[in-house]
Structure 1
Amino acid sequence: MVDKKSAPIAWATLLFELEDTQEHLQKMCLEMNDNPQYDEVEFAIDMAHIYSHLNRAWNGRNATEKQIDDQNLWRQWSQFPADLEPL
């Protein structure tokens, strides 16, 4: 995993992905509770967004400072991890 001191930009990016995940998850839960019309389509969109943040956090956890702005890597990192088994 990236190191806060040796790769501060990569570290900040990792934390951003995790914090954005938390924010969107909280928003989704509130919406599900407050909106009786919240449906499976909205749920799928919200979950895909949340998974993208989690996937980038995991897949980019060892990113170098140079890799952070690489759009091809960003798209790859958005995919579900191949090296993480669900529990």
Structure 2
Amino acid sequence: LKVVPKSHSKGVYRPETIDWSIETENICNVEKGGIMLMKPLTLHGSNRTTNGKKRRVIHIEFSDMELPEVLQWAERMNSNMG
């Protein structure tokens, strides 16, 4: 997985506006069946697979914030982890 470090702190950071003379991408090696945790809005991507097979990704986001009344979470789970 390729990520642009600290890109999540820049708000919505569109690829066409990136100044690659100052930004770098880091490669995070994730083993088959592994888990990668990162902050939402982190600019990330990956190369095509080398074996021609499809890659599967499960993307889960967690938040401790309430949404405005006009919106609602698709799923909600209360936890005592705080």
Common fold: TM-score over 0.5:
no
Select the structure that is richer in strand.
2
The TM-score bracket by the shorter chain reads under 0.3
In our comparison, the structure showing a higher alpha carbon Rg is 2
Q: Output the TM-score relative to the length of structure 2.
A: 0.20
Select the structure that is richer in helix.
1
